[in-house]
Amino acid sequence: MPILEVFPQNPDDRIMQQMASELRSGEVIICPTDTLYGFVCMLSNRSGIEKICKLVGKKPEKANLSIICSDLKHISDFTLQFDKNTYKLMNRNLPGPFTFILKANSKVPKLFLSNRKTIGIRVPNHKVPLKLVELCGEPLVSASVHNPLSPDQFMDDPNEMDKAYKQNVHWTIDAGIGGLIGSAVIDCSSETPEIVREGPKEII
């Protein structure tokens, strides 16, 4: 699969347009975030979601998928109404390396949710995925890229990802070596937010 190199702070607009076109046509690509690299597709892409689940070796109801939104207003388009405290918590920490678990609304595909009623949502502090969301006009579904020979280990080198997944994924956006620590996960689906997993940055 071709590797497209970009500057994380100023990604080439031509490459971003090309990758958005690939996503709109139903492709799954490998994309950087502010934590781990991820397999991504558009939220409306049912076959893409199924492919990502196969790539991570899990059924949709077991896969740790999240959706990438552009900002807080965009998040509210796909969740049930949340309280002011939750809004303030997200507003202080996003964009950033955090996944917030919220109650999903009917705009989220049933395939994505399976039997769950909650969804993990991210607004990463990285221009590449945010630009792709903007160009695609909808959120991206994301799952972290792991080592296929060792599913508990994440990958940080786009060239190694290319070698491992070239039979399955057409494109990799290379924004340099990524991280090896996933985002912090905060469950805001009940009255009191709960930190489910620590991440590279403390929540404020």
| Closest by CA position to 132, among listed 39, 18, 56 | 18
Domain ranges of the chain: 3-197
Residue 28 banded pLDDT, cuts 50, 70, 90: very high
pTM (2 d.p.): 0.94
Average of pLDDT values for 73-93?
94
Mean pLDDT, residues 31-52: 95
CATH of domain 3-197: 3.90.870.10
Q: What is the pLDDT of residue 134?
A: 97
Inform me whether the pLDDT recorded for 116 exceeds 80.
no
pLDDT in tens, 123-166: 999 999 999 999 999 999 999 999 998 888 999 999 999 999 99
pLDDT digits (tens, 9 = 90+) for 160-192: 999 999 999 989 999 999 999 999 999 999 989
Residue 86 has pLDDT above 90, yes or no: yes
- Rounded to the nearest integer, the mean pLDDT of the chain is 93
* Residues forming a β-bridge with 121: 67, 100
pLDDT, position 112: 66
Q: Is the Cβ–Cβ distance between 137 and 77 less than 8 Å?
A: no
How far is Cα 6 from Cα 129, in angstroms, rounded to an integer?
Answer: 12
User: What's the mean pLDDT in 100-118?
Assistant: 82
Strand boundaries in 17-162, DSSP class E? 29-31, 38-42, 66-68, 98-103, 118-122, 140-144, 146-147, 150-154
Q: Has residue 94 got a pLDDT over 80?
A: yes
